[in-house]
Amino acid sequence: MPYEEKVPPLPRGDLAIEAVDVRKHYKDRTALSGFNLRVRAGTVCGLLGPNGAGKTTAVRIMSTLTRADGGAVSVAGCDLRTDPTRVRYRIGLVGQYASVDEVLSGRQNLVMFGKLYHLPAAEARNRADELLERFDLTEAADTPASEYSGGMRRRLDLAAGLLLSPQVLFLDEPTTGLDPRSRIEVWESIRGLVGSGTTVLLTTQDLEEADQLADTIALIDAGRVVAEGTPDELKAAVGPDRVETVTRKPSLDEVFLHLTGQPAADRTTEDRR
Amino acid sequence: MTATAPTTAPRPTRPATGLRDAATLTGRVLTHWRHRPASIFLNLMFPVLMVLMFGYLFGGAMTVPDGRYMDFLIPGMFAMTMLFGLESLVVAVTTDNAKGVTERVRAMPVAATAVLAGRSTADLLNAVVGLAVMVATGLLVGWRADRGLPLALAGLGLLLWLRFAFTWIGIYLGLLLKTPESAVAVQILVWPVGFLSSAFVSPGTMPAWLGAIGAWNPLSATATAIRGLFGDPDWNAQHWAAEHALVLAIVWPAVLTAIFLPLAVRRYRALED
């Protein structure tokens, strides 16, 4: 069998992602300058940071799309540099860069990508049907993806990222541009995945999303992780000098502002609360 | 790292897996045709329209030394059809890039060579269909391959050999240009490349310096060579390139392929940002 049949989830507590001193320099700018990250199996890590902080580069490197200039990354127990192919069998990528073929129908997309993961043809078809059902796309299975609504497209993207039941799933802004209902549906799907042992690395501009989903948060600024911890730990770290002015725990927005000196995304704190 | 060791190792580099991947990706393009019959039809009809325009509107003013202009034009248009295929190929490659399909496949265990071989095979099938339509058109307007079936097939083989070379130029340009908008440049550039050849008139009738370029155009080599193989009339061009057209029609595509196939593979592997 040319693919790894049903790779079980990594044992909880193992490191699903370990990035050590990763550096990436482009012609005119440094994207990552000593990026370190450790994510435990079966957890959701939210990677937050202002635009240009290096989130995208970090995800691209960890998902084998871009090569790092230096440092070491291991994902799902495999070294990225020596064994990128095995990593590719064990990860799923959902987000702005990885998309589906708009001309093909949802089913055709999933069957095609399943075959490219080297599932036998019959199994690719079964898996496609299973995922269409799970993401409530059975009715639209034979409609071209270009005619899908935003929420349906996102669910199809998610399904395509789950064809091989990946050990590690990279979710890049999974709910950007979705209406609240679709957003909650996607969140539910993600929680379900994590419940079954998948490790998720989530990048988002939406701090409520991070608060909802993430077990740990890594704040990235100027190409490196500047703070790491559970949402509560991070809030506590900023807590003391906030208690007097706001009679509540600081929000992640405020953590963000405190640590990076910049507001999250393009929104101000006032807009969000 | 403490990941569970895989029981079966993935071997996507195995030739059989690569061939299957290439076939899957070829099948994908064929499915596109099924979904978009109108655009395929228009692409096929365009050279037919040119035959009618040049053959009947301009053809009356053209005198070929020993025969009908239409019989000179048809083989030239066969060669032109091979070149025109480049536009839709570049658009298809850049669209995949812009829509994120390329990125998804790059994050999957699929070899670069398999991806590009799939694209190239699909394009060759497209060329076979295009050529069949053009041969039918030729037969309808009275063109005949007068020197027998084996030489006629050899001529068609030379045409596809030229297209195979163009395919790699197209894939390389597509990967280089990245956006469908910039592919418009290619759509414009195929015109001077096409017309500065022996497809419509003999380069001997052009100003000397321009004629020299036209005579050395790979398109001219193939057009002149297949006129010989089909027994069609030609201007008796006193040019080394025209006299050795058959050799050049074999060598030119080989040289172009030797340059652009490795460039395309390298470019695909280096796609990063």
- The answer to whether the Cβ–Cβ distance between A103 and B108 falls below 8 Å is no
CATH superfamily of A15-264: P-loop containing nucleotide triphosphate hydrolases (3.40.50.300)
Residue B15 has pLDDT above 90, yes or no: no
Closest residue on chain B to A14 (Cα): B2
Give the residues across from A169 on adjacent strands: A92, A200
Contacts of B28 in chain A (CB under 8 A): 101, 104, 112
**3-state SS string over chain A?**
CCCCCCCCCCCCCCEEEEEEEEEEECCCCEEEEEEEEEEECCCEEEEECCCCCCHHHHHHHHCCCCCCCEEEEEECCEECCCCHHHHHHHEEEECCCCCCCCCCEHHHHHHHHHHHCCCCHHHHHHHHHHHHHHCCCCCCCCCEHHHCCHHHHHHHHHHHHCCCCCCEEEEECCCCCCCHHHHHHHHHHHHHHHHCCCEEEEECCCHHHHHHHCCEEEEEECCEEEEEECHHHHHHHHCCCCCCCCCCCCCHHHHHHHHHCCCCCCCCHHHHC
State the pairing for strand pair A70-75/A78-79: antiparallel
- The domain segmentation of chain A, as residue ranges, is 15-264
Neighboring chain B residues of A116 at a CB cutoff of 8 Å: 21, 24-25, 105, 108-110
Judged by a CB distance cut-off of 8 A, whether residue B269 touches chain A is: no
pLDDT at B14 over 80: no
Q: Does B104 touch chain A (CB under 8 A)?
A: yes
B6 pLDDT more than 60:
no
The answer to whether B107 contacts A91, with C-beta atoms less than 8 Å apart, is yes
Chain B residue numbers touching A112 (CB-CB < 8 A): 24, 27-28
B38 touches chain A (CB under 8 A): no
Structure tokens at B223: 């057009």
Which residue does chain B place closest to A76, by CA atoms? B3
Contact B227, B135 (CB under 8 A): no
Tell me which chain A residues have a C-beta less than 8 angstroms from the C-beta of B273: 26, 66
Per the listing, tokens 């609504």 go with: A149
Q: Is B3 on the interface with A (CB under 8 A)?
A: yes
Cα–Cα distance for residue pair B56/B50, rounded to 1 Å: 10
At residue A3, does pLDDT exceed 60? no
The pTM of the full predicted model, rounded to 2 decimals, is 0.86
Whether chain A has a CB inside 8 Å of the CB on B107: the answer is yes
Distance between CA atoms of residues A211 and A223, nearest Å: 22
Chain B residue with minimum CA distance to A96:
B100
Look at residue B13 and tell me whether its pLDDT is greater than 70.
no
Which of A29, A40, A111, A116 should be substituted to probe chain B, the one whose Cβ sees the most B Cβ atoms within 10 Å? A116
Q: How far is A143 from chain B (nearest CA, A)?
A: 11
- Mutate which of B8, B24, B96 to disrupt the A interface (most A C-beta within 10 Å)? B24
Instruction: Decide if pLDDT at B257 tops 60.
Output: yes
Measured CA to CA, the distance from residue B178 to residue B90 in angstroms comes to: 9
Whether the pLDDT of residue A160 is over 90: the answer is: yes
What integer is the mean pLDDT of B177-203? 89
Of B10, B12, B107, the CB nearest to A64: B107
Q: Is the pLDDT of residue A257 over 80?
A: no
In a domain, residue B263? The reply is: yes
pLDDT for position A270: 41
Q: What is the mean pLDDT of chain B?
A: 90
Question: Residue A45: what pLDDT?
Answer: 96
Work out the pLDDT band at B242, boundaries 50, 70, 90: confident
- As a dihedral over the C-alpha atoms of residue A156, residue A100, residue A266, residue B181, rounded to 10 degrees, the angle is -150
From A250's Cα to the closest Cα of chain B, the distance in A is 36
Whether residue B266 lies within 8 A of chain A, CB to CB, comes out as no
Q: pLDDT band for position A6 (50/70/90)?
A: low
Question: Residue B252 in contact with residue B162, Cβ under 8 Å?
Answer: yes
**Are the CB atoms for A39 and A216 separated by under 8 Å?**
yes
Domain extent for B143: 16-270
Question: In this complex, do B272 and A66 lie within 8 Å of one another by their Cβ atoms?
Answer: yes
Interface size between A and B, measured as CB pairs under 8 A: 120
Decide if B100 and A11 are in contact by the 8 Å CB cutoff. Answer: no
Q: What is the pLDDT of residues A219-241, one digit of tens each?
A: 999 999 999 999 888 888 776 65
Q: What is the pLDDT of residue A232?
A: 86
Q: Distance (Å) from the C-alpha of residue A89 to the closest C-alpha of chain B?
A: 6
Residue with tokens 């701090």: A207
Domain count for chain B: 1
CA distances A218 to A231, B4, B33, B111, Å, are 9, 26, 46, 33
Each residue of A11-61: pLDDT tens digit?
A: 877 899 999 999 999 988 999 999 999 999 999 999 999 888 999 899 999
Q: Which band of pLDDT confidence, cut at 50, 70 and 90, is reported for residue B9?
A: very low
